[in-house]
Chains A and B, each alone.
Chain A
Amino acid sequence: MSSPIQNKPASHTKAAINVSLSVEKKRGLYRDLCRIRRFEQISLKYYNAGKMGGFLHLYIGQEAVAVGCVSLMGENDHIITAYRDHGHALAVGMDMNACMAELFGKRTGCSKGKGGSMHYFAPDKNYWGGHGIVAGQTPLGTGLAFGLKYKGLKGAAMCFLGDGAVNQGSFHESLNLAALFGLPIVFIIENNGYSMGTSQKRSSAYPGCLAERAVGYGMAWKQLNGEDLYEVRAGVHDALERARNENKPTLLEITTYRYQGHSVADANKFKYRTKEEVERYEREHDPIHIFKTHLLKEGVLDEAGVATIDQAAIAEAEASAQFAGQSAYPEPAEIFDDVYWEVDQKTEAGQTGRHFFND
């Protein structure tokens, strides 16, 4: 992977969208970063203790992307992402207990134990998932933007995808639709350098960077460094404004890095990349450390304040695991709930004809 573009902290820090942040808001952003990291570290601990099944794709190392983007959301802005979805979920304000309980497969989970790690949703917070099929969310994100425009609302959709997802046909079709129909959307490639064990160079053909593919669709594009929350906010803000005010899409590529394997089951995590590479990112490019440094320098937080926030995040995450552990599993009868809206609501349509075929 090519090393991320050099940080220019001064200019992003001084961007109007960042200068306008209150002290409270800045502390809140730091809290969000810590809550995501601690939630994931603790979920990993309980995964390894056998409390969960299936996949666990961790977002550790990428936190500034979700937090930075979500911090810009207004009332009519919506987001959607892939299966590496815990960070976005906590950033939009989903309840940590419900998120952890979902991993434990409990009925108190955000999807009642039906979706698991890859399928968090919170429509009430404009968060539309949580999708397991690579790039499957990109037409849906395009649809959120289409829906906004159709309904005459001033807002934008942010559609996240990975650097491996850019090679799905559905994504290219989405880019064309968004540009052709003038849709208010920001496609955000979270480029962590790898799709499973495949480096960006081994999976994609591109001119200078992945985002530059937008040129083929006559679409605005930009590459941002995702290790600095201020840079994420400054760059994404511009794209969101273009969407909201001009109904024009943007393709952003935000460089970032995942510290863990692709999922917990990734047996090769130190084969397709070196341990040194991972440690270098942890040491020199950690988004939480970089934002902390900003806040300490600005006097927004002191070391004690930083520690208090982090301790609270650990305590909250541990408590969420206790909550999840103590919650009940769903009942077998619940298997047939949430399949059909009409059946769940017991409408006439839901009671006409046979809907289920167990014998």
Chain B
Amino acid sequence: MRRLSYRHALREAFDEELARDPMVMLMGEEVAQYNGAYKVTEGLWAKWGDKRVMDTPISEAGFIGMGVGASMLGVRPVMELMFWSFYTVAWDQIINNAGMVRYMSGGLINCPIVIRGPANSGTNVGATHSHTPENVIAQFPGMKCVVPATAYDAKGLMKAAIRDNDPVMFMENTLLYGEEWDVPDNSELPDGELVIPLGVADIKREGSDITLVCHGRAVHTCLKAAEILQSEHGISAEVVDLRSIRPLDEETIFNSVRKTHRLICVDENKPFGSIGSQIAAMVQQHCFDELDAPVLRVNSLDAPAFYSPPLEKIQNPTPEVVVARALEIC
């Protein structure tokens, strides 16, 4: 088993998919010659050249729409938003074109695209650069949305996303790019490659007293909280990493709640209409008799991202807050 950074794992996924299918190509601002603003695509332009790895001007609506159009002819563009926050500039292309064309054409057309890039706050880059739009995107039927928390998941989910025939919105995290995890070499794998299907959650830590449902960086917040709950309070928390937001693995969530009877949804969305809101609604409906306490949510504090470093730090869920909320219901 090798240790691989999150960015390196993504790069491997691109490299393997570029090799597998000549229709796969990467594009975005600074992805080619600059090697990526966050070095995710480093070395790929040198290896694959201008046609497969392409720099674009700062024209998000234009180049993303161009990728959507090309995908209707069977090209499989993987498009980087330097920050997912810039989705607002390309909103019409993403939602109305990529998201709706299949339905409006009565199924005649599909858009096998991936739009990817970092979608996180917590780096003091201000309100406009700190959006976490997975809840916004997942609101639209036709869209798929994936948020990996580890290098292993990032690689396997990216390969599945590229092979998927629907638009997949892939949300990474600048605070995780440099972190390392175990990622098997292809030679160690029975199928010779790592592909993780969309719509399958992963239990990152087993437990019996309370379920923490989370995704993205909040997974690591929850894992730390679970450690504190165990060591300081003797509470055994189960950490369910959604990995994929839409499609969503509701069975894994429900099974965990049936075991622990308590649930906190933790994510870095703003609370109104967060991913946790959706899950809370589903769990109270489908697991009502299993619950021994109200479902709680821990979200980013309900204001735009604060620039000031110490203030932004407390805006996002911390292990301490998760522990405090858990103690309220355990």
Contacts and interface: CB of A to CB of B under 8 A. Distances in A.
Interface of B: 29-30, 33-35, 37, 55, 57-62, 86, 88-89, 123-129, 270-272, 297, 299, 301-304, 306-312, 314-315
Contacts of A105: 124, 307-311
A339 interface: yes
Contact of B302 (A133, A165, A356): A356
A118 B123 CA distance: 14
A284 to B, nearest CB: 27
Contacts of B299: 358
Contact of B303 (A54, A132, A196, A335): A335
Given A113-B306, A357-B302, A133 B271 contact: no
A339 B125 contact: no
A195 to B, nearest CB: 6
B309 A53 contact: yes
Given A55-B125, A118-B126, A169-B62, A202 B55 contact: yes
Contact of B306 (A114, A134, A136, A202): A114
Given A113-B311, A132-B126, A272 B302 contact: no
A196 B37 contact: yes
Contacts of B124: 52-54, 105, 116
B57 A169 contact: no
Interface in A42-71: 52-55
Contacts of B311: 105, 113, 329-330, 332, 334-335
A135 B55 contact: no
A143 interface: no
Contacts of B37: 196
A217 to B, nearest CB: 18
A109 B307 CA distance: 11
Q: Which 6 A-B pairs have the closest CB atoms?
A: A53-B124, A105-B308, A116-B307, A113-B308, A54-B124, A197-B34
A133 B58 contact: no
A196 B34 contact: yes
A113 B57 contact: no
Contacts of B125: 54-55, 116, 118, 132
A336 interface: yes
Interface in A14-59: 52-55
Contacts of B59: 167-169
Interface in A327-343: 329-330, 332, 334-336, 339
A198 B308 contact: no
Consensus secondary structure, chain A interface: loop
15 contacts: A54-B125, A116-B126, A116-B307, A132-B125, A132-B129, A133-B86, A133-B88, A136-B89, A196-B37, A271-B34, A329-B310, A330-B306, A335-B303, A358-B271, A358-B299
A334 B89 CA distance: 29
A335 B57 contact: no
Contact of A272 (B29, B34, B62, B315): B34
Contacts of A165: 58
Q: Chain A interface residue count: which class? A: 35 or more
A175 B217 CA distance: 41
A216 B187 CA distance: 58
A329 B58 contact: no
A135 B55 CA distance: 19
A115 B303 contact: no
Q: Which of A204, A271, A334, A359 has the most CB of B within 10 A?
A: A359
Nearest to A199: B33
Contacts of B123: 53-54
A292 interface: no
A119 interface: yes
Nearest to B63: A167
Interface string A315-359: 000000000000001101011100100000000000000001111
Contacts of A330: 306, 308, 311
A85 to B, nearest CB: 12
Contact of B58 (A52, A118, A195, A272): A195
A167 B58 contact: yes
B304 A119 contact: no
B103 to A, nearest CB: 25
Nearest to B274: A357
B58 A164 contact: yes
A203 interface: yes
Contacts of B86: 133
A128 to B, nearest CB: 15
Given A105-B310, A168-B61, A358-B301, 9 more contacts: A55-B125, A106-B308, A114-B308, A116-B308, A131-B128, A202-B33, A339-B303, A356-B303, A359-B271
Contacts of B314: 332, 335
A357 B272 contact: yes
A159 B178 CA distance: 38
Contact of B33 (A118, A169, A272, A356): A272
Nearest to B307: A116
